[in-house]
Amino acid sequence: MAKNVLLIGVGGVGSIVAYGIDFTGKADISVVVRRDFEKVSKVGYELKSIDYGDIKGWKPKHIYPSVEAAAKDVPVYDFVVITTKNLPDVVKPEELAEPAITPEKTTVVLIQNGFDIGRPFIEKYPNNFCLSGVSHIGSHNNNGVVTQTQHDECLISYFINPNLAIEDQKRKAEEFISIYSNEKNAVTYFPDAKWYRYRKLVYNASLNTVCALTGVDTGRLDLAGTLESVSIPAMREVIKVAKADGVTLPADIINTVVHSDDGDWFEPSMRVDVKKGNPIELEAILGNLLRVAKELNVETPYLQILYNLLKAVQFRLKEGKGMNNLPEKRPISDKVYS
């Protein structure tokens, strides 16, 4: 029997993942889409895809305007794939997906940025599998028109759930790969989600964050001296936390990461978000890392101050989206500081 898959968050990544799953024909794929619901439920998606070619009027099996609606229609989803931006300070993904998650039955697949993002799911659903997907894809969804310019490469693994057997978790990852992997994409098993997400953090916690804060690309960050004075010390802190967490990153990782943007005036994703006025994935990246650093008693002064500064940036971005309602006159505080 075909598996029931629900995908939440049909952006540039999510639409191609959903299409990839539909393409294999091994699962019934439903999606939750809020912003473009009116349009895509009528005319479907248009794909201009480097992997799949030009496709018009593609519709997944069901298109729902909410997770609640999706949950009412299908008693049990075998997989719930979450491809939203990871903004737990705006919407907690584990609460957003809750109506569609059946305890002990639904496997959650997080194809999202961030570090240690499986933790709240495993805490909330201790007997469900929780898979990790790290996607390398260039794809944008503009009101139902998806332009995919870089191949869909996705590394699938699992966030270790201590309540379940490791071999079952591995098997579940392979099962998900079997319904998502096809001859057009490159979906592969990667044995160690934690290692890989630490690996990505070396860039994301140090270059992505600092570019977001200072408003420059990685090339200008280098020329201004801030790469060496702030980002590299921050990278060393990530490596130190990883080590205390039992994860050994490659010896030449700093050099590799710094040179990864060679030849490009490259603007990392958080910088792009700030520019567009969108909230940044601050908690999923730095917030979670700092929580782990604290548990492991690792000092991270650079990362901590970057986090504290970016909290003010996030405050501003959320206000721009109408999420903070401030009175016209600033309230007077009687707090005493010393």
The neighbouring-strand residues paired with 133 are 156
Taking CB under 8 A as the rule, does residue 299 contact a second copy? no
| Residue 39 makes contact with a second copy by CB under 8 A | no
Q: Are 22 and 29 in contact (CB under 8 A)?
A: yes
In one-letter notation, the amino acid at residue 188 is T
When binding is defined by CB under 8 A, the residue of 62, 220, 243, 291 that contacts a second copy is 220
Is residue 302 near a second copy by the rule CB under 8 A? Answer: yes
- 276 lies in the site for a second copy, by CB under 8 A: no
Angstrom distance (rounded) from CA 332 to CA 321? 25
Q: What b/e string do you get for 141-172 counting C-beta neighbours within 10 Å, with b at 16 or more?
A: beebbbebeebbebbbbbbebeebeeeebeeb
Least distance to a second copy from the beta carbon of 237, Å?
Answer: 12
Nearer to a second copy, 162 or 329 (CB): 329
- List the end-to-end C-alpha distance of the chain, in Å, as a whole number: 67
330 counts as binding a second copy under rule CB under 8 A: yes
Residue 94, judged by CB atoms within 10 A of its CB (0-12, 13-18, 19+), counts as buried
Q: Which of residues 51 and 273 has its CB atom nearest to a second copy in the complex?
A: 273
Instruction: Build a one-symbol-per-residue string for 155-194: x at contacts with a second copy by CB under 8 A, - elsewhere.
Output: ----------------------------------------
Q: Compare residues 156 and 230 and give the one whose CB is closer to a second copy.
A: 230
Our finding on whether 264 is near a second copy (CB under 8 A) is yes
CA-CA distance, 15 to 66, in Å (whole number)?
16
Cβ proximity to a second copy: between 101 and 207 the closer is 207
Residue whose CB is less far from a second copy, 34 or 316: 316
With contacts defined by CB under 8 A, name the span among 180-188, 190-198, 210-218, 283-291 that binds a second copy. Answer: 210-218
Which CB atom, from 96 or from 205, has the smaller least distance to a second copy?
A: 205
Residue 40, token pair as written in the block:
């895509």
Residue 336 touches a second copy, criterion: CB under 8 A: yes
**293 lines the binding site for a second copy (CB under 8 A):** no
Compute how many residues bind a second copy; rule: CB under 8 A: 49
What does the alpha-carbon distance between residue 24 and residue 177 come to, in Å, rounded to a whole number? Answer: 10
Beta strand pairing call for 62-64 and 27-32: parallel
Q: Can you tell me the distance from the alpha carbon of 239 to that of 200, in angstroms, rounded to the nearest whole number?
A: 11
Residue from 108, 158, 111, 131 nearest 5 by CA: 108
Interaction site with a second copy (CB under 8 A): 210, 213-216, 219-226, 228-230, 232, 252, 254-255, 258-259, 261-265, 301-302, 305, 308-316, 319, 324, 326, 329-330, 332-333, 336-338
